[in-house]
Amino acid sequence: MKRRAIQLGGRTLLVSIPYSWALEHGVTKGRELTVTETSQGLIVQTGDAKPKMKKAFIEAKNCGRLLRRIVLAYYLKGFNEVHVSHTSKEIKPLQNLSSDMIGFEITSQTQTTTIFQDFSEKDEKNYENVVSRAFMILKTMLAETFSNPGKETLESIKQMDLNLNKMCHYCWRYSYKNNLGSSESSILQIIANSLEKAGDAWKECVEMSIEENSQNTLKNIHQPIEKLLSAVLSFTLKRSSVHALECADAYDSIIELLKKSPRHKIFLPASQLVNNIINIQSLQLGMLNDVKSDEEF
């Protein structure tokens, strides 16, 4: 069936519901309905929306080395429960995997079966905290590099990169699990993906700088990269043009420094790091354009 939208006020549209459906569900004047936004449309319910439980069943004997990726894929897509049938040799890898998935715990494990269940809640504030922590981990990775240069620092950065990946995976899961609109979901996923890639790129920069003794190049670009990241972290709608200029200046400085530096292997991962941070800033400006468009209408 089709319904015509009626304009009420500047920013409100009214759509009627079928009278037969209202009678069947006891909907009368003043009754509250639950409206849930999904990427496909809107869901109207008479009670509190109960999200559908999503379960997956995996036969690990046929997965081999792909088992970790498969379980993680179901986690990222917002599944509430994952049952894994396996042999005894898969027990330890599955236990290790549990520590990489925020809010997803092993509730039952035998020699042949492991069950993962979701214990996280739909908490927007918690999600925002995770995003902030992901940014701060990346910033700490940059600062830690020069506090005590060497292989010990590299191991510390590798561990921080694992924690950053965990935060980014949670962001992916949040966008799937909470039925965000397709545009918002895509933005969150791109930000998470860019953060994860930025962390990987910096880790690679540090590895290569130790391998080919090119720490000076890393030191030269360190300050403008931190400036770039700080501009992205402190982004606000009111000062968006200022932040955009700060990012542009920092980006130009980094590229110029890389061009002047000897052609070390770190050139490529350093460029990837910068480009991923710029991707995030571009999304911030894109969201600003969306806000302005809404106000115009």
Locus of tokens 């060497």: 150
The span from the CA of 145 to the CA of 14, in Å, is 56
Q: What are residue 36's DSSP bridge partners?
A: 43
Q: What is the pLDDT of residue 288?
A: 54
Q: What is the pLDDT of residues 250-270, one digit of tens each?
A: 778 887 877 776 666 777 888
Q: Sorting pLDDT into bands at 50, 70 and 90, what band is 106? A: very high
154 or 83, higher pLDDT: 83
Q: Please give the average per-residue pLDDT across 85-101, as a whole number.
A: 87
Torsion angle, alpha carbons of 182, 186, 189, 194, to 10: 180
Q: Sorting pLDDT into bands at 50, 70 and 90, what band is 134? A: confident
- Which DSSP helix (H) or strand (E) runs through 33? none
pLDDT at residue 297 tops 60: no
Q: What is the pLDDT of residue 295?
A: 38
Q: What is the pLDDT of residues 210-227, one digit of tens each?
A: 877 767 777 777 788 888
Q: What is the pLDDT of residues 31-46, one digit of tens each?
A: 888 887 765 677 788 7
Chain mean pLDDT for the chain: 78
Q: What is the pLDDT of residues 267-294, one digit of tens each?
A: 788 888 888 888 887 776 665 544 444 3
Answer left, alpha or beta for residue 68, where phi above 0 means left and psi between -120 and 50 means alpha: alpha
The span from the CA of 82 to the CA of 250, in Å, is 45
Q: Reduce the DSSP state of residue 27 to 3 states and report it.
A: coil
Alpha helix (H) ranges present in the chain? 19-24, 67-76, 91-98, 124-144, 151-177, 182-211, 215-233, 240-260, 267-296
Q: What is the pLDDT of residue 121?
A: 64
Q: What is the pLDDT of residues 169-182, one digit of tens each?
A: 988 888 777 665 56
Q: What percent of the chain has pLDDT over 90?
A: 8
Domain boundaries, the chain: 6-45, 55-118, 124-296
* Helical pair 215-233 and 240-260, crossing angle rounded to 10 deg: 170
pLDDT at residue 59 tops 60: yes
pTM: 0.67
**Domain 124-296, architecture per CATH:** Up-down Bundle (1.20)
Q: What is the pLDDT of residues 1-11, one digit of tens each?
A: 788 888 877 77
